[in-house]
Amino acid sequence: MCSHRKETELPSSSRNRKRREKAQRRSVNLLTILGCIAGAFCLVVVLACVVGATWLMGLPDYSGISSYANTGITTIYANDRETVLAKLYLENRIEISQDEVSEYVLEGTVATEDERFYEHGGIDPIGIARAVIVNAASGGTSEGASTITQQLVRNTVLLDEMTDRSIRRKVREMYIASQVERQYTKDEILMMYINVVNYGDGCYGIEAASRDYFGKHASELTLSEAALLIGIPQSPNAYNPREHMDKAMARRAVVLQRMLSNGYITQTEYDDALNDTPVLSDQTLDDETISDIAPYFIDYVRKQLDEDERFPATIIAHGGLSVYTTLDPSLQEDANTAIQEGVRYNDENFDAALVSVDPDTGEIVAMVGGRDYATNKFNLATQMSRQAGSAFKTFTLLSALNEGMDPDNTYVESASPVQIGKDWTVSNSEGHGYGPMSVSDATRSSVNTVFAQLVHAIGAQKTIDAAQACGIKSTLVQDDTVTLGTSGVNPLEMASAYATIANGGYYHEPYAVTEIVTAGGETVYTHETEPGKRTLSAAVAQKATDILETVISSGTGTGASLSNGQPCAGKTGTSEHGRDLWFCGFTPQYSTAVWAGYRTERETGLYGGTICAPIWRSFMNAALAGKPIEQFPTTSEKISYKPARTWDFTKDVTIIGGDDEDPSESSSSSSSSSSSSSSSAASSSASSTSSSSGGNEKPDPEPAPDPGGDEKPASE
Beta strand extents in 182-300 (DSSP E only): 203-204, 289-290
Backbone phi and psi for residue 192, each to the nearest 5 degrees, phi listed first: -60, -40
Sign for the CA dihedral angle at 40, 43, 49, 55 comes to negative
Distances in Å between the Cα of 7 and the Cα atoms of 11, 13, 593, 692 are 10, 15, 110, 114
Active site residue 67: no
> What are the start-end ranges of the H helices in 424-487?
439-444, 448-458, 460-470
CA gap 684, 554 in Å, rounded: 33
Q: Quick one: which of 99, 126, 328, 332 has its CA closest to 220?
A: 99
CA gap 363, 349 in Å, rounded: 30
Beta strand extents in 397-492 (DSSP E only): 411-413, 416-420, 424-426, 436-438, 488-489
Distances in Å between the Cα of 517 and the Cα atoms of 15, 79, 297 are 85, 14, 19
Burial class (CB in 10 A: 0-12, 13-18, 19+), 20: exposed
Backbone phi and psi for residue 71, each to the nearest 5 degrees, phi listed first: -140, 170
Active site residue 390: yes
Which of 102, 224, 390, 487 is catalytic? The answer is 390
Burial class (CB in 10 A: 0-12, 13-18, 19+), 313: middle
Beta-bridge partners for 355 = 367, 593
Backbone phi and psi for residue 92, each to the nearest 5 degrees, phi listed first: -65, 120
Q: Quick one: which of 552, 549, 547, 596 has its CA closest to 708?
A: 552
DSSP state of 161: G
Angle at 172 between CA 166 and CA 173, to 5 degrees: 90
CB atoms within 10 A of CB 598: 15
Which of 113, 161, 173, 413 is catalytic? The answer is 113
> Secondary structure of the chain: what % helix, strand, coil (to 5)?
45, 15, 45
Residue type, 285: L
Q: How long a stretch of residues is the chain?
A: 716
CA gap 265, 108 in Å, rounded: 9
DSSP 502-524: HTTSEE---B-EEEEE-TTS-EE
CA gap 34, 680 in Å, rounded: 79
Catalytic site residues? 113, 390
